[in-house]
Amino acid sequence: MGILRSRGIGAATFVVLAVLFVGLTIFCNQALRGARLDLTENRLYTLAPGTERLVRSLQEPVTLRFYFSQQASVAVPQLRAYATRVRELLEELAARSAGRIRLQVIDPQPYSDDEDRATELGLKSVPLGAGNEPVWFGLAGSNSTDGRSVIEFFQPDKEEFLEYDLARLIHELGAPSRKVVGLLSTLPIAGGFDPASGAMRPPWIIGAQLRELFDVKNVATDATALPAGLDALLIVQPKGLAPALSYAIDQFLMAGGRVLLCVDPDAQLESAAGPAAAFAGNDRSSTFEPMLAAWGIAYNPREAVGDLEHALLVGNPAGGQPVRHLGFAGLGEGSLAKSDVITAALGTINFATPGALEPRPLQGVTFEPLITTGTEAAPIPVERLALAATPDALRQGFKPTGRRYVIAARISGALPSAYPSGPPTGVAASAPHLARAAQPANLVVVADTDFLADMLWVRSGNLYGQRYAEPWANNGDFVLNALDNLTGSADLIGIRGRPTFSRPFTRVERLRAQADERLRGQETELEKQLAETERKLGELQNRREDRQSLVLSPEQQRELERFQQEKLRVRKELRAVRHGLDEQIERLGTTLKLLNVVAMPLVLSIAALVLTLLARRRRRARVAAAG
């Protein structure tokens, strides 16, 4: 009876525990719905504060259709892993949006309606599957007013900006109207009438692109106010601005406006602006004082920067081969900031006689370099640029300082006004004066204007009456990226690149590298032996009396057999090295499995046992004290 009773108690206990487990699971699913704990090293599954505010502030529903070819991508495991990362981030965005983001995950099959729909939405497939089967990996978003925005194909090499790209797409759908950009330029970016030829000149390529993407409003240099409703302001070669306009620009930035400012110590194309640009004599420099100094930027309009390492080839005035010009620089890898979305994905940006920017210490203001020179750079007085008859003459006496000079920078934070005491004399303020930025300001400054000109980044022409442009550098992309970023919300601008989610097996990679090093050495030795044997065979062949015979002599036959045996021996050694590498990796994998399957549960069990014993000891101590 005692045995039956104990078995009955044990079974009842098991049933009670099972019921409690199921009940606790259901309770946790309900009570902790939406709760998340991100234990990854780089907080990969924790949204940036700006992203959370952006998705929660959506005023209308947004539908996101995530297309990924599950079956066709089986042969590309890295892409599948990245697709999982994208899908999980999309699910996180939908979960944080209070129901305003509707996510659909679609696996388009070949020749299906889903595939046709993906093509219609503007997505692109890539032949990565078996037999060049197309793989779809993109996102199509839409809103209630038929607004659309797509990411044609997620590029794994842009993973660090995945959150920014998704937040930008959602922001575009939440605010579908075209952004308004003011253009204030003393250079003929927008085209116009050419007094010299008496004909209309076409806009620069960058000017045409701006009008395709934004609602551009021109601002005259003698204007007394900025147009209403600007999302951002592009200022190029500011010269001769009316005091009221300078004050209006300052207050625009103080009130939260965003500015892309391009100044230049020696604007090569200023003469193309016509006679009006020559009002200051032959001075082709521009500055923006007192604003630059007040906003924490040091800039000398009398000095350009030469870069020996990145100097571009230009036509030789004396004829002959092109020569490198210190004042023309093509800045790419190593010079473009990879942590900022404006420059991260760009390749090369070309400049002509750019200046240099340096930060002035200001509390609460951040100076972030976007584009820098190489270390073989040094300042060049503008007067010397004008006097140097040839590029070779400019290089005489040039001594690099070993420093990197900043060509473009992002300035943000609580900027002070350039007019701390109020508007300048004779200017009437149309709104209450702001002595400091009411919200964190955003300003991008470039110490060059020539980089906007067609000659430095694009080949253009006419084909059957249609103008075409073929970029060969990323100058235009830089401008469009900067304006695209600046016209976004403050939350969107604040999102920066994130670390990647891929975690390489560093120990395994180190083992592979060591084995590859050994393999390369043996392969090199094999190649040497092969070359030596072929040489000896050639010598033997030359000493033969009957050169027409295809039959090998006994000596040649022995040499060939010896080489074949040696070749087999080396191949065996290569296989042994490779096999040893596999064994090392397998042992490492077995060790990790043991740690995960046996060691960690054992550690947790021992910890639980120790805690249980300690609890019993404390309980016995309390009972003894009470007795």
Whether residue 260 sits in one domain with residue 397: yes
- 88: Cβ–Cβ under 8 A, 6 or more apart, which residues? 45
Residue among 211, 249, 181 at smallest CA distance from 488: 181
Q: Which residue has the higher pLDDT, 396 or 465?
A: 396
Tokens of 333: 């890898």
CATH code, 445: 3.40.50
Q: How many Å apart are CA 538 and CA 552, to the nearest integer?
A: 12
For residue 60, what are the domain limits? 49-173
Q: What is the DSSP letter of 597?
A: I
Residue 10 lies in a domain: no
Side-chain half-sphere of 250: how many Cα atoms within 13 Å?
A: 30
Say if strands 258-262 and 441-446 run parallel, antiparallel, or are unpaired: parallel
Residue range 134-138: mean pLDDT, rounded: 92
Weakest mean pLDDT among 8-22, 221-235, 444-458, 539-553: 539-553
> Is 603 part of a structural domain of the chain?
yes
Q: Nearest-CA neighbor of 130 among 171, 87, 73, 92? A: 73
Are residues 161 and 337 in contact, defined by beta-carbon separation less than 8 angstroms?
Answer: no
If asked whether residues 144 and 211 sit together in one domain, one would say: no
pLDDT mean over 186-191:
88
Beta bridge partners of 201: 192
What CATH number does residue 125 fall under?
A: 3.40.30.10
**Residue 390, domain member (yes or no):** yes
Candidate from 261-270, 374-383, 482-491, 498-507 with smallest mean pLDDT: 498-507
Pair (96, 124) in one structural domain? yes
pLDDT of amino acid 521:
60
For residue 305, is it within any domain? Answer: yes
Of the chain, the percentage scoring pLDDT greater than 90 comes to 40
Q: Is the pLDDT of residue 387 over 90?
A: no
Dihedral-angle region of residue 111 (phi above 0 means left; psi in -120 to 50 means alpha; beta otherwise): left
Beta strand 303-307 with 101-106: parallel, antiparallel or unpaired? unpaired
Asked whether residue 254 falls in the same domain as residue 399, the answer is yes
Which of the given ranges, 64-78, 144-158, 276-290, 529-543, has the highest pLDDT on average? Answer: 64-78
- Alpha-carbon distance of 53 to 170, in angstroms, equals 12
pLDDT digits (tens, 9 = 90+) for 594-612: 666 666 667 767 777 787 7
State CA 569 to chain mean position distance. Answer: 49
* Residue 555 in domain: no
Cis peptide, bond prior to residue 290, ω within 30 of zero: yes
Q: Quote the tokens at residue 56.
A: 């929660």
In 3D space, the residue among 357, 396, 405 whose CA is nearest the CA of residue 378 turns out to be: 405
**Per-residue confidence band for 133, with pLDDT thresholds at 50, 70 and 90:** confident
What pLDDT is recorded for position 193?
A: 64
| 599 secondary structure, DSSP code | I
Residues 165, 274, single domain; the answer is: no
| Across 220-241, average pLDDT | 94
pLDDT digits (tens, 9 = 90+) for 470-485: 889 999 999 988 998 8
Residues 131 and 202 occupy one common structural domain: no
Domain total for the chain?
3
Tens-digit pLDDT profile for residues 137-156: 999 999 888 788 899 999 88
pLDDT at residue 500, as a whole number: 45
**Is the domain of 447 the same as that of 576?**
no
Q: d(Cα 51, Cα 44) in Å, to the nearest integer? A: 13
Task: Check whether residue 119 and residue 244 sit in a common domain.
Answer: no
Q: Residue 351 in contact with residue 456, Cβ under 8 Å?
A: yes
Do 323 and 313 touch, CB atoms closer than 8 A?
yes
The pair of structure tokens assigned to 166 is 């998704």
- The tens digit of pLDDT for each residue in 290-328 reads 999 999 999 999 999 999 999 998 877 666 678 889 999
On whether both 444 and 428 belong to a single domain, the answer is yes
Residue 548 lies in a domain: no
- Tell me which of 173, 188, 220 is where a domain ends: 173
- Classify residue 501: in a domain, yes or no: no
184 and 168, same structural domain? no
Q: Is residue 546 part of a domain?
A: no
Residues 387 and 430 both lie in one domain:
yes
pLDDT at 460 over 80: no
- 291 and 198 in a common domain: yes
Select from 310, 309, 308, 267 the least CA-distant residue to 394: 308
pLDDT class of 497 with cuts at 50, 70, 90: very low
Distance CA 230, CA 261 (A): 15
State both tokens at 389: 């008859």
- The residue out of 142, 173, 204 marking a domain boundary is 173
